[in-house]
Every structure is written in structure tokens, then in C-alpha cells.
Amino acid sequence: MLSPTLPDTDDVALRVRGLVTGFGDQLLHKGLDLDVRRGEVLGLVGGSGSGKSVLMRAIIGLQPVRAGQISILGHDALNADASAQRALRRQWGVMFQDGALFSGLTVAENIQVPMREFLDLPDPVMAALAAARLRQVGLPAEAGAKFPSELSGGMRKRAGLARALALDPPLLFLDEPTAGLDPISAAAFDNLVRLLADTLGLTLFLITHDLDTLMAICDRVAVLGEGRVLACGTVDELRGFDHPWVQQYFGGPRGRAAIGKTA
């Protein structure tokens, strides 16, 4: 099914309807609709400037919305009062590009930031939880005492993922998680994300340009362009979608190479 929306009978974790965003007189999203099923890994692709990161930021409340509706885990994310919005923010974790860690905090302290915002726990308990998150993402215990500048790019990505998982949320937003990584590190990160999604039952909204990531871990892929979701479906379904950008993206040399790896 290439539609960006799902039947009302589907168990939907994220539902966007009629979303309008923009900057000044320029509209970026023009009545965008999109659904993400509970427990699926949805990849979001689109050309540069199509508004992928802005869409994610609008969904999590970091970008003003001019019109539309956003429902997250059955709750109205735009019209809830402050208390309800705070409770809802506990239900998701976000990994921004390159981890977006606080440079003046250690890795362990970075992981504890969401805990300090939303929980009232003794420091030793938070330290133990941070250590558990480090193990969960495959980082050694000694990484917790390091500062982000002392980590490799791949380790910073994993530290950012550990922070996103700090509150054990059912929903994760990942923005270009493998950008800047070498192919081996990117593949290892893809495998980690897919393993966590499967074992923890997570719902993932994942922005990426990486065709290998789409093939390795995404259940469906949404294509953003012209201010809306052009199509949403499996990679095989999208390969047959009649749109110039979609055909070029999935049918170009890199697309054929990525698809050939899984053939």
C-alpha cells in the first residue's frame, strides 16, 4: 500500500493530518498526512530542502505548526495542556544528527539529562541506569566518564542513542543516524537499531539518506516531496511508483546497488 495513511482499524503510534509548516511567506509542508504503525520502523526520505528534519521537529514540538493535527500514542500533541504535553514527551526519545551531546557533560551525564528532567531519582540510581544504557548500545563502561570530544563518531552516535533510550520510551525519533559513518560502522549501527526495535518493541521514525539503512532495517519508507508525503510503502512497492524523484532515488546506480545487496 503506497498511501501515507492507514485505516482507522490499524494500531497507529503516530498520526499526522493536514500538517502545514513554513518560514515567513514560504510554506514547507502543505497539508501533509502520515501514519506510523506501532512497532514498525518507518524510514523518511526526500530531497535536500524537502523538510524531513522540520517534520520531525514539528511532531515533537520544536517547530511551530500553522495548521493540522498530530496524534502521538493516541494523544493530541498540539492541543494538550502543559501537564499532558510533559507527560507525552516522556513517551519518546530523540537522537539528533551526530548525537547532539552536550560537550561540557560526560557521556554518563548526557544520558542522565532526561532522567533529571522527568524523574526524581537518587544519583546512584541514575548512574546505574546510565551504565545500563551504555551496555544496551554496545559501549564499554569506561565510555561513561569520557566527554563527547573524546569519542569516535560511531561512539557518539551510540551515546546519543543511549540518551534517547534513557526513559525507556516506546517511540524513537532518529535523524540521520548513520550520517558520517564508514560503511562498517554504519552497518553495525543499523544492526543495533534493528535489534533494539525488535527486542524492545519500539516504534521508530527514522530520517535517512542511506539506502543501505532503508534496506536493512525499515519496514516501510515514506517519500517526502512537494510539501507532502508522495508515497509510503515497502522499498519494492516504491520502486514501481511513477514519480521522477522516486524512480531516480531507488532506480539510480546507488539504489540498484543497495537493492542488489539484499537480492
Nearest Cα residue to 169 out of 180, 181, 161, 178 = 161
CA atoms within 13 A on the CB side of 16: 25
pLDDT of 104 > 80? The answer is: yes
pLDDT of 247 > 70? The answer is: yes
The mean predicted confidence, pLDDT, of the chain is 93
pLDDT of residue 260: 58
pLDDT of residue 255: 54
pLDDT of 161 > 70? The answer is: yes
249 C-beta neighbours (distance < 10 Å), count: 22
In this prediction, residues 202-230 reach a mean pLDDT of 95
**Structure pTM?**
0.92
pLDDT of residue 8: 82
pLDDT of 256 > 80? The answer is: no
Taking each helix axis from N to C end, the angle separating 107-118 and 153-164, rounded to the nearest 10 degrees, works out to 20
Q: How far apart are CA 194 and CA 100, in angstroms?
A: 21
CB 178 within 8 A of CB 213: yes
In this prediction, residues 146-167 reach a mean pLDDT of 95
- The residue ranges of every structural domain in the chain are 1-91+170-263, 101-168
- Percent pLDDT > 90 in the chain is 84
Assigned CATH class of 1-91+170-263: alpha beta
Nearest Cα residue to 98 out of 173, 154, 42 = 154
Q: For residue 219, what pLDDT band results from cuts at 50, 70 and 90?
A: very high
Q: For residue 131, what pLDDT band results from cuts at 50, 70 and 90?
A: very high
